[in-house]
Amino acid sequence: MRTTRYAASLAALGLMLAACGGSEAGNQAEDAADSNVEVQEEVDFEAGTTMAELAEAGSMTVGTKFDQPGFGLLNPNTETPEGFDVEIAKLIAAELGIAPEDIEWTETVSANREPFLQNGQVDMVVATYTINDARKELIDFAGPYYEAGQDIMVAAGNPEGIEGPEDLAGKNVCSVEGSTPAQNIRDNYPEATLTLFDVYSKCADALANGQVDAVTTDNVILTGLVAGSDGAFELVGNPFTEEPYGIGVPKGDDEFRAFINDTLEEAYESGAWADAWDRTAGAISGQEAPEPPAVDRY
Ligand code: GLU
């Protein structure tokens, strides 16, 4: 209960700071940090479930991205990540009675999400994580809670005239190890020369210094990188896959998955999901919250 009150007063402080002005960037940071989550004060879960264990512990470990503006970006001042994925994780934690400040954030890059779930390094992963059958062999997914699509980012003015994946033939394109977009290029566009890093911010650096002609991954990740590029990059804007984002949980934990799906549906209903979007990815892209996707209770 103490932590709940503490969270509420922190939120009020955030509002006050925002109202007092300050730099625009500062205000944005306040907005993202100012989660409007209502932490449950009394929770009651069946003994032996993951929910009961986490609620009892009063903390949980969440894997997310640390270098993706709008979804999961580490704020060096607070040393915590900010973004839509981070807000989704906070909503789930709040239903377990866990306040945002009691979440331990672990950086998961694209390639280590399944192993981190498999070996228990994280309790769940919320990290622009596409639901697919290959991954479902190893872990399970709640959601989807968002639908992205693979797209391409190029230098401003599009000097190479890249309008879609077919135009990547003979070009140097950057993506990330262990990601669905990298796999798609390997499988379906083998004439592209693929450069792989562990995180997308390194692809952005490679595009900036001319080492590659293009970067490919989900449109919403690229939108965040374009927004941070000071006009150096642009999005082709022609998505060519479907990337439903799920919340990764350990394989076989059907109760935890069902609980997260319930929480997502409640957040759709209450407006908390749309509010989280507006304060994070929506604020960066200028795009209104879309209709949330139906969760898939497979
Ligand atoms: N959504 C894709 C994936 O899960 C690309 C984004 C990412 O690498 O996180 O692989």
- 97 with 9, same domain: the answer is yes
Nearest CA to ligand 1 atom 6: 128
pTM listed for this prediction: 0.90
pLDDT tens by residue, 77-125: 999 999 999 999 999 999 999 999 999 999 999 999 999 999 999 999 9
pLDDT averaged over the chain? 91
pLDDT the model gives residue 34: 63
Q: Is 126 in the pocket of ligand 1 (CB under 6 A)?
A: no
Find the mean pLDDT for residues 31-43.
Answer: 78
Q: How much distance in Å is there from the Cα of 46 to the middle of ligand 1?
A: 34
176 lines ligand 1 (CB under 6 A): yes
- CA 34/CA 87 separation, integer angstroms: 10
Average pLDDT over residues 217-238: 97
Does position 14 have pLDDT exceeding 80, yes or no? no
Residue 293 within a domain: no
Binding site membership of 181 for ligand 1 (Cβ less than 6 Å): yes
Q: Is 106 near ligand 1, meaning CB less than 6 Å away?
A: no
Q: Is position 13 within any domain?
A: yes
Position 28 confidence tier, pLDDT thresholds 50, 70, 90: very low
To test the pocket of ligand 1, the residue of 110, 147, 216 to mutate (highest count of ligand atoms within 8 Å of its CB) is: 110
Q: Are residues 127 and 195 in the same domain?
A: no
Mapping DSSP to helix (H, G, I), strand (E, B) and coil, where does residue 40 land? coil
| CATH code for the domain of 99 | 3.40.190.10
For residue 243, what pLDDT is reported? 98
Judge whether 33 lies within some domain: yes
**Is the pLDDT at 257 greater than 50, yes or no?**
yes
- Cβ 243 under 6 angstroms from ligand 1: yes
Q: How many domains does the chain have?
A: 2
Q: Which domain holds residue 189?
A: 150-235
d(CA 97, CA 100): 10
CA dihedral of residues 188, 194, 199, 201 (deg, nearest 10): -110
Length of the chain: 298
pLDDT > 60? residue 292: yes
Distance 21 CA to ligand 1 centre (A): 36
